Chain A
């Protein structure tokens, strides 16, 4: 278990970043999320960044990578709670995180995640016909 606690709530993994992450903590979070997705057969991830005050280019790229990996595993991820100051900094830095779905709060994140998971399942059914 790394420094980011991950809990499973009704088929969704919820990871809450509670402190400024070292690079290795971010890499460990990625590995741990993928491991738990597979082990628990979950279909979604909510990553809560609401207490995170610094997202630099490394962590920004990690968020993109984690979102891509989660999709490859057939699940969906929504990042919630990016602070206004962090959003401004990321845009100025040139990192718009286009591959990452986001929501302003955990509540909205949960709704968006359920919609993404449902859309994905419908898409698969159509494609399978």
Chain B
């Protein structure tokens, strides 16, 4: 956090996802870190909503409904500070990531706009997933 010229690093936040209650916990923590990093109200809303979508995917689709959300500050040589959120689970994985990224795709539980919608809220989204190995999604947003 930039505060009168001094740089105060924002500590990484780990939120275990074990059930529905943790969806709200993870999005609130992400919003709080975004605010500390100087993101405005609209970006705070985008970031918190993106985290909510991904955390809910864990609760809905991961085999045991468990995973983790890590929220941290990140930086890039040519950009200002940013926020990076890593959402991971050991669930069934996504067989076809390209298909899951298309609007209107749904794996049957009515979350068809989950991944494409989440992508639109953020600046970057990387998905690492394979059947049986689980899914790790990294999303980033840079401060304007």
Contacts and interface: CB of A to CB of B under 8 A. Distances in A.
A83 to B, nearest CB: 8
B44 A93 contact: no
B contact face: mostly helix, strand, loop, or mixed: helix
Nearest to B46: A89
B53 A92 contact: no
Contacts, number: 72
A58 B56 contact: yes
Given A92-B120, A95-B113, A53 B48 contact: yes
A96 B42 CA distance: 17
Contact of A20 (B24, B42, B110, B120): B24
B103 A22 contact: no
B60 to A, nearest CB: 10
A94 B103 contact: yes
Interface string B103-127: 1000000110110111011000000
A128 interface: no
Contacts of B120: 92-94
A23 interface: yes
Interface string B50-91: 001100100000000000000000000000000000000000
Contact of A89 (B20, B42, B111): B42
A55 interface: yes
Contacts of A89: 42, 45-46, 49, 121
Contact of A57 (B28, B31, B114): B114
Contacts of A85: 41-42, 44-46
A61 interface: yes
A24 interface: yes
Contact of B45 (A23, A58, A88, A95): A88
A54 B53 contact: no
Contacts of B24: 20-22
In order of increasing CB-CB distance, the 10 nearest A-B pairs are A85-B45, A56-B52, A93-B117, A85-B42, A85-B41, A89-B45, A94-B113, A92-B120, A94-B117, A54-B48
Interface of A: 20-24, 53-58, 61, 83-86, 88-89, 92-95
